[in-house]
Amino acid sequence: MKLGELKEFLDEKVLFYENPKFIVSDPIQIPHLFSKKEDIEIAAFLTAIISWGNRTMIIRNASKMMQLLDYAPHDFIMNHQKKDLKCLDGFVHRTFNSIDLQQFINSLQHIYKEHGGLENALKIRDKTDTYQTAIHHFKNIFFEIAHPQRTQKHISDPLKNSAAKRINMFLRWMVRDKKTGVDFGIWKTHNTANLSCPLDVHSGNVARKLALLLRKQNDWKAVLELDRNLRLLDKKDPVKYDFALFGLGVFEKF
């Protein structure tokens, strides 16, 4: 397909998939349970972190996390005492277990108390137009307090060539406009133009079939290649095409 034809095709798919019906089967439904900004972003962050594997299981376990945090994640994180973390014992989602969840609670408290919250901690602070160094910096401050070594693996580092799919998905949720009722658009200090596609097996395979991506590995180099091509289609909101790539892969078996 020529560039104009590809844009028309993908724009139609975005319109088809980016609507509230998308939420019903997607983990983004978890942060949609909340109205307070900090509750939304914490629920979204924790949900995104465990978003790998079966989506039904992701939603079930993310719901369990919210239950354990008394459906008030920001209040729990800011005001919990050590004994309160006992209720998290036994939680597990694949390799993310109660030890990891307890550390995430403590690290999130540190982020909100010492670094101005998630929105501020994930800002792009250099002159680049992607979140590569921002995510790397975020991981550093997330783990600058005492932590078990095992927990570090649950936040990817693009400077080590990770595609950082889950963090990029979380950023899409927080930054993109809420006009369609799917994403939230609550991080006004961030720019939609800088977002990168949450690259996974589905979006990667579809992108390759459409010649938007030539690199075979789903790593940060592939993310940058896909960025460049999606920004040719829409430089202000390139990640809207995540809906098209994901929908074509998961629902249409493209």
Computed over every residue of the chain, the mean pLDDT equals: 97
SS3 of 55-116: the string is HHHHHHHHHHHHHHCCCCHHHHHHHCCHHHHHHHCCCEECCEEHHHHHHHHHHHHHHHHHCC
Rounded CA separation 210/59 (Å): 30
Domain residues for the domain of 67 are 3-250
Q: How far is CA 222 from CA 51, 60, 106, 200, in A?
A: 20, 31, 33, 11
Tell me the per-residue pLDDT of 160-201, one tens digit each, with 9 for 90 and over: 999 999 999 999 999 999 999 999 999 999 999 999 999 999
Supply 83's token pair: 């004994």
Query: Is the backbone of residue 200 left (phi > 0), alpha (psi -120 to 50) or beta?
Result: beta
In angstroms, the CA 243 to CA 234 distance is 14
- pLDDT in the model for residue 254: 86
Q: Which residues of 114-147 are buried (b: 16+ CB within 10 A; e: fewer)?
A: ebebbbebbebeeeeebbbebbbbbbeebbeeeb
Q: What is the pLDDT of residues 215-237, one digit of tens each?
A: 999 999 999 999 999 999 999 99
Average pLDDT over residues 48-75: 97
Instruction: Note whether 242 and 234 are within 8 A (CB).
Output: no
pTM for the structure as a whole: 0.96
CA distance 198 to 171: 9
State residue 1's pLDDT score: 80
The domain tally of the chain equals: 1
List, for residues 8-19, the tens digit of each pLDDT value.
999 999 999 999
Per-residue tokens: 171: 């950023």
pLDDT digits (tens, 9 = 90+) for 112-135: 999 999 999 999 999 899 999 999
Residue with tokens 């940060």: 220
